[in-house]
Amino acid sequence: MKYKNLEEYIEKWHVSKVDWDGQEELQVLGVSNVEGITTTTHKKSKDLSKYLVIEPGCFAYNPYRINVGSIGLTPANVYGLVSPAYTVFKVKKNKVLPELLLDFLKSFDGLQQINKYARGTVRKALRYEDLCKINVSFPSFKEQLRILDHKKEVEEKSIQLNNEIEQQWNDIGQLKQSILQEAIQGKLTQEWREQNPNAEPASELLKRIKAEKARLIKDKKIKKEKPLPPIIDEEIPFDLPRNWEWCKLGEMYEIVRGSSPRPKGDPRYWSNGRTSFHWITIADFKPFTENGCLIDTKGFLTEEGSKHSRKVGPSDIIIACSGVGSVGKSVKLGIEGYIYMMVCLGLEI
C-alpha cells in the first residue's frame, strides 16, 4: 500500500446555519476526546447564524484540541451545529470508510502526525490545510469493508463478554450475601449443632464479655457507657437457633469515634516521612488490605500528632462514618494506628 496525503481522501465541509435548507432540528453540539460528538455544556452564542452545520458522516474538531484526540464523527440521524471555530470535513465517496479514518486519527501514529503538522508554540493548532498533509495508507475499499465488518463483530463480542463478566460479578455478590444471610440465621451450622448438643450457649459468652468490660471499666482502661435499651420484638428480623442470642453491638465492643489533630497538615502533627504512628484514612482500605486486614498506610503522624488523635490497634474494626460513597466501609486492623471521621469497634473477646 502506498502512502498518500490525506487530502486525497477528504474534502472540507462548510455549511453555515443561514445556508442550511434541511428540515432537521439543529442543536448545538461539541466534541470531546472521549465521547466524540456530544451535547455541549459550554455557553453558546446568542447569534447562531455563523455556526457550522454537521450531519451524519461529518468529522468535526477544535483545531486547538485535536492533538489530544478531540475529534468526532457525526453518527447516523444526528444533525446539529458546532462553533464556527471548528473544522468540519467529510470523506470522499468510496475512498475511505469514515470509521477507519477516525480510528487512525485517534491512534498513536495519527496523533503523532497531528502534532507534527500542527502550528504554534504555546498552543498548537491544526488547520484544515495542515490536516491534509498527513500521510496515510489504506487498503482497497473492498478490504476496508471487510475490516470494518470484522471490527464490529469483535466489538459486539467484547460487549457481550463484558456484560457476562458484570453479571457474574453480580451473581458472586448475591451469593456472598446469601451465604452471609444463611450464616447469621444458623442454617450453615445446623448439622454441627445437632452433633454437639452440649455446646456452650451464647448467653455464657455474653456474660464473659460483660465481666471483661466491667473489669476494664474498673481499671479505667475504657469509659463506662450508658446502659443500652433492651431488644424489643420489632427489632428481631428472624428467629434464632436454640442457645443463640440477639445482642447489641455495644454489648460486645467498646465503640469510640476518631479524632484529628488541628490544623490539618500542620508539620507539628503530620510527618513527611514514615514513622511508627500510622495515620489511617479510607483511602488506605483498598491498597493496603491483605487477607482482610489493613497492614499499612500512606500517611503518618508525628509523636506529637499521635497525642491528638484516637489510637486503635490490631483486631479492632474501623468503620467510615462520613464521605460520599464511603459511609459504612469497614476493615479489620492488623496494625496500630490513629483515626478520625471513623468509629472503632474495640474490645473483641
The x, y and z cell numbers of residue 189, run together, are: 451450622
pLDDT at 305: 95
pLDDT at 217: 87
pLDDT at 347: 54
Average pLDDT over residues 100-117: 95
Looking at residue 66, the DSSP 8-state letter turns out to be: G
Residues 6+ apart with CB under 8 A from 234: none
| Angle subtended at Cα 103 by Cα 98 and Cα 109, rounded to the nearest 5 degrees | 125
Looking at residue 125, the DSSP 8-state letter turns out to be: B
Share of the chain above pLDDT 90, in %: 73
- 162 vs 349: which has the higher pLDDT: 162
pLDDT at 43: 64
The x, y and z cell numbers of residue 122, run together, are: 504555546
> How many angstroms from the chain centroid is the CA of residue 223?
40
Q: 3-state DSSP call for residue 319?
A: strand
- 7 vs 45: which has the higher pLDDT: 7
Across 109-113, 119-123, 138-142, 288-292, least confident range: 119-123
pLDDT band at 342 (very low <50, low <70, confident <90, very high): confident
pLDDT at 349: 43
Q: Alpha carbon of 68 to those of 86, 137, 275: distances in Å? A: 15, 22, 42
pLDDT band at 255 (very low <50, low <70, confident <90, very high): confident
- Cα separation, 169 vs 158, in Å, equals 16
pLDDT band at 4 (very low <50, low <70, confident <90, very high): very high
Place of cell 452545520: 53
Residues 6+ apart with CB under 8 A from 92: 8, 9, 10, 11
pLDDT at 226: 85
pLDDT at 348: 46
Question: 255, 226, 227, 270: which is closest to 318 by C-alpha?
Answer: 255
For the entire predicted model, the pTM comes to: 0.57
The yes-or-no verdict on residue 46 having pLDDT over 80 is: no
263-312 pLDDT, tens digit each = 988 999 999 999 999 999 999 999 999 998 999 999 999 999 999 999 99
Average pLDDT over residues 114-139: 93
The yes-or-no verdict on residue 237 having pLDDT over 60 is: yes
The x, y and z cell numbers of residue 173, run together, are: 455478590
Instruction: State the average pLDDT for the chain.
Output: 91
56-86 pLDDT, tens digit each = 999 999 999 898 889 999 999 999 999 999 9
pLDDT at 256: 85
The yes-or-no verdict on residue 222 having pLDDT over 90 is: no
Share of the chain above pLDDT 70, in %: 98
